[in-house]
Structure formats: structure tokens, C-alpha cells
Structure 1
Amino acid sequence: MSGNTSNSGLESQAKRDPHGDFKAVESSRPKFDQEATWKYTKNIDPGWKPGSGANNASWKDHRKVEVDPYGEGRSHVDNYKLLISGITPRFIGFISTVSKDGTTRNLAPFSYTTVVNHDPPIFCIGFSGGKGSHKDTCKNLLETGELTINVISEWFIEAANYTCTNAPYGVDEWKLSGLTPIVSKKVRPAHVAESAFSIEAKLIHSHEWTSKTDPTRATGTLCIVEGVNFHVREDIANDKLNMLDISALKPVGRLGGITYSRTMQGFEMTRPVYDEDKVKEILN
């Protein structure tokens, strides 16, 4: 996410990096296991029955604490840190845009990104900062109405992460990261060659948020966009081009602070079919 006063201010207040010397901490950790492969396991409790509740009782040992997001002494930064550490893992939308005059390219990751509909394909993207302090990506998107959304995978996470440096507007993150642009077909912004799944998209609606404690201060912008063209890597997609192989996609997600996640293990659960006879005793 390219630098601006809003983003830099939030980052300095949030202090997401808890380490005084991150490189020293990182050097003490085991190496990244590039040989690890995706695997399926059984469900946590294959014998679970309707009405059984949680699969263990450890939750009973702890109580929930109520948190008023607007309580006395609580800041918006507290809410930010709580939300990004609790709503996890989050998909990272790696977004490519161009300026209105076409002279400036921008590439940055945003974890306030998600798909919300498939017909038509609709995505929502949240940007912190409002009028006068928009992130470069948001500014470009609002002015041009076009972008690409790219999935981040393990093989280029370092390059993707480097694009969120606090560079001034106009600096080309494509060059800083060393990533490869591919010309899109239906929008002006390029999509990322290294990404196994990219979406060309167009803006259909935006909404600006204001602070509850100071209604004069714009705090964020929601952009709703429609996917108008897809690009998938041939070895990761099936023959019908309607499913991607998670073991080959190796998506990277966002957790709290400066932590990322990898997807290496999963279990399957069938969607239950309602059986009135089986649940009769539970409901009565």
C-alpha cells in the first residue's frame, strides 16, 4: 500500500511490528519449509451428532469480555488492531491500478478484500482514509473505475509485501517489486504474471465512511467492483476452468500484526441434509 499521510499515520500508531529487531527474531526461527505439501485430515470429530455443540469443552474455562468500540479511552487504533487480529485469516487482494492520465502505475496488497457474489462476480474492497488522504490505489480506482485483483501465492510473497512500502505517490511498485505486468484485455491496469489467478474488474459503487466520534473526519472508503474477466494458470485449473487446485495455488493469507499464513492442511465436511426424524428429539 503506497504511502500517504493517512496510511503512514495509522501504521505508526498501530505499531504492528512487536519486535525491536525483527531480523534478529527471524534469524532464531526455523527455515521456511518449502517441501511441505498440502494434505487432508479427518474432521476434528467425525462422530459428531446434531445437538452436540462444541467438539470440546475448553471454551467453558474462559469468559467473554465485552468491548465497546466507542468506550471511554478506546481509540480507533485499538479497534483496528483487534479486528485484524480477530478476523483471520483474510484474503489479500493484490490490486493493480493506473492513474487517470495513464502515467502512473500502482500495485499494492489490501486484506480488506473479499468476493460477495458470483452472478455477477462482485468484490468489496475497503481502504482506510477518506477524501484528501486516499491511498494511491483508491485514488486511482475512484478516478478511473478500473483495477485488477490478483491472488498472492507463496512464490512471490516477498515481492508482494514490498509493494506496501510507504513510497510517495508516483513511485512504480512494479519496478520496486520486480514483478511482471501482463496487459489486460478489458481494463487498463495490468495483471500480475506471477499470480495464478487474476481478475480484471470495474468499479460500480463507492461509499465513504466517517468517524463516529468525529463525523467531520473521513476514515475509509468502500469500493464495490465487478469482475469482468478472469486469468488462471493452466496447471492449477481443472479442465472446465471452474476449480483451482489448493495444493498448487498455495495462497497466502493475512493474520494480525505483521503475520502471514499459508494454507497447508484441510478437512472436508459435507453439507447436512435436514432430517426431521433425526432432529425431532433435539427440537422437542
Structure 2
Amino acid sequence: MSCSVLGPKLLRAFPKVSPRIFSFRSFDRVSQLESSLLPGIYRQKSTMIKTSAFFNTGDDFDKVQASRPDFQRDAGVKYSKPPKPDWKEGEGGNDGGESLNKNHIEIDPYQEGRHASSNYKLLISGVVPRPIALISTKSKDGKTANLAPFSYAQVINHDPPLFTVGFVGSLEKAKDSLKNLAESKECVINIISEHFVEAANATAVNAPYGVSEWEVSGLHQAPSSVVQAARVKESMLSIEGKLVETKEFESRTTPGKKTGVLAIIEGVRFWVREDAYDKETNVVDLKVLKPISRLGGIAYGRTTDAVELPRPQF
């Protein structure tokens, strides 16, 4: 989670947040990442779709989903005491040393016979929760609009405001969002909240180039100030961005093959919904923002529980 969305008390403390988990069937292309790393695994919706989640999706998933409790829309953010309120400097973990009795498995990401998809599954299920950048772009000629979610994304600096977004694939064979970003040098990063998570998930559909995900999702465009790409009106926090630079990465197992692109984007305008923003503290209210995060497989997280820990002072 970015520091700017954790509430006024962040001025003196650093909350630890824990996401609530829920999931729903994604489109055939669950994400740009899964479709490119796991070719041939995704099938038609009528068949069983193998994902990196802890279960298969398909007809059986509908039954699993139906058996789950209803979404609690009014669940706010609850603050509790930390696990060990009387923790003292040098004490280490708060589990009484239980974790010290556990063994670890060493994994070489380039081990012979290990597919890149194994690294992908490990990383997206272990590095959680991850912020999601719902990125809006327009083609260089301004005729085609695109909207897609990316969880290889993060804010990395505030002066200037800088963001990173990771794309799977190469610049030569760039998919819609990367192609538009590389050519137009502009985009809008929209933060996803609970009230439009299904629509945001719908933008992961594998639509052909030139087909807009705006219509598929039903989300509404709002005019931007500096860039051509539209903001998502439903988003409580949107950042108009200008491309600073891109860097391609090469596969370690297939030399010469470009497998990823890092984009560094500078935020040039912020748009915050007025009821979620405290002008005096310049803080976005977590209880209003209700951000959605990405977990492993097809699971998304919501932040409903938090603890606050004051920063230590020497």
C-alpha cells in the first residue's frame, strides 16, 4: 500500500494492514501476465481453467462462489492492538520463537527444468498484497482508447512523483497499453476501489487491438487536464502521467528473448474525490478509499483491519 492512503494517523505512525480475501471468475485472459507466461493453459469458459490460484475455476468455481458469504459492503477499517503491544527493542518476532523452528526451501529461479511460470506463481502468491494500477491510455493518433489493470506497479518517489509499471513481453510486440504508452508517452493511473472491482477486473479481457475495454467494463471516462487519456470517473484517486523512460529485460533461460518492460512514469496531475481527501493534512482517507489489492491467483484483497506502530526513535 502506498503511504498516501493510510489515514491521518500515518503522520505519526506506520499502520500494518491485512487484506480480506475474495475472488471471482476473471475473463479468459485473467491478466496479461498469466496469458503470456502460461500459453495453452487458458481454455474456453465452458471448460476448466487452470489458474495460479489454489483451485481450478470453471463450473465448479460457480458452486464455490455461491457457497461463500455475501460481500459486506459496509465493512469499515478496524484498528486493533498490534500482536504484542509490550514488544521491546531486540525481542525479535512476536511468536515466541515458533518461526525459528521452521525450515526453509532454497529455490534457484533458473534451475534446470524450472519454467518461468513457476517463478511467476511463487512471486504473485508470496509478494502480497500488491497495489493495482488501472491504466488508461490512448493511441498516438488519439483514435483508440485502452484500459487495463497491472499489479506489477508501485509509487517509488514523491519529488518528483514517480511510478513504475511492469509489462510482460517486448516493446517490439507490445500489447495495447504498452504500445499506446510507448508511442504517446502518456497515461492515467487509476486506483481501484471496492465499488468498481468487478468492472476493473473486466478490463483484463483479451480484446483485440482497437477494441476499447471502456465499453466492456461499463466504466465512465472523465477528462484529464494534461494528457489525452481519460480518467476513470469511478476512481477516487487518478494520476495523470508522462512517460520518463522504459527499460527492456532479457530472459535468463532464453538469451536474446525480451520478456519484460519496466516503465517509469512521472505524475503530473492528481485527481482525488473530494470526500476522500483531507486538504489540511493532504491525506487520502483509507476508510473512504477502500482500495483493492492483488493477491495470488484470481484473488483480490480489501483492507478492513489495521494496526498502528509508532516509528522508533534513537
Deviations 1:54-95 (CA, angstroms, capped at 9, x unpaired): 001221332110000000111100001101001100000000
Work out whether 1:10 is the aligned partner of 2:10. no
Q: CA offset at residue 173 of structure 1?
A: 0.5
Is the 2:188–2:230 Cα contact (8 Å) retained in structure 1? yes
TM-score (structure 2 length as normaliser):
0.83
In proportion to residue count, which structure has more strand?
Answer: 2
Equivalent-residue separation in structure 1 for 2:313 and 2:232 (angstroms): 41
Work out whether 1:186 is the aligned partner of 2:226. yes
Equivalent-residue separation in structure 2 for 1:11 and 1:161 (angstroms): 19
Which amino acid is the alignment partner of residue 155 of structure 1? H
Is the 1:207–1:222 Cα contact (8 Å) retained in structure 2? yes
Q: Which residue of 2 aligns with 1:281?
A: none
Structure 2: segments with no counterpart, 5+ residues: 1-26, 42-49
Equivalent-residue separation in structure 1 for 2:82 and 2:33 (angstroms): 44
Larger CA Rg, structure 1 vs 2: 1
Alignment of 1:217-256 (within 5 A): 217-240=257-280, 242-256=282-296
Is the 1:96–1:137 Cα contact (8 Å) retained in structure 2? yes
**Identity rate of aligned residues, in percent?**
49
CA shift in 2, pair 1:5/1:268, >3 Å: closer
Is the 1:199–1:228 Cα contact (8 Å) retained in structure 2? yes
Equivalent-residue separation in structure 1 for 2:86 and 2:306 (angstroms): 18
Structure 1: segments with no counterpart, 5+ residues: 275-284
Q: Which residue of 1 aligns with 2:79?
A: 40
Work out whether 1:108 is the aligned partner of 2:148. yes
SS of the aligned residue for 2:157 comes to: strand
Q: CA offset at residue 209 of structure 1?
A: 0.6
SS of the aligned residue for 2:64 comes to: helix
Question: Of 272, 275, 280, which aligns to 2:312?
Answer: 272
Is the 2:156–2:164 Cα contact (8 Å) retained in structure 1? yes
Q: Between Structure 1 and Structure 2, how many residues are aligned?
A: 274
Q: CA offset at residue 217 of structure 1?
A: 0.9
Q: CA offset at residue 133 of structure 1?
A: 2.8
Q: Which residue of 2 aligns with 1:149?
A: 189
Alignment of 1:23-102 (within 5 A): 23-56=62-95, 57-102=97-142
Which amino acid is the alignment partner of residue 98 of structure 2? S
Which amino acid is the alignment partner of residue 74 of structure 1? R
Deviations 1:79-123 (CA, angstroms, capped at 9, x unpaired): 011010011000000000001111110000000010000000000
Q: CA offset at residue 124 of structure 1?
A: 0.4
CA shift in 2, pair 1:263/1:7, >3 Å: closer
TM-score (structure 1 length as normaliser):
0.92
Query: RCO (CA 8 Å, sep 6+): is it higher in 1 or 2?
Result: 2
Pairwise CA RMSD of aligned residues?
1.9
Equivalent-residue separation in structure 1 for 2:134 and 2:111 (angstroms): 34
Is the 2:242–2:268 Cα contact (8 Å) retained in structure 1? yes
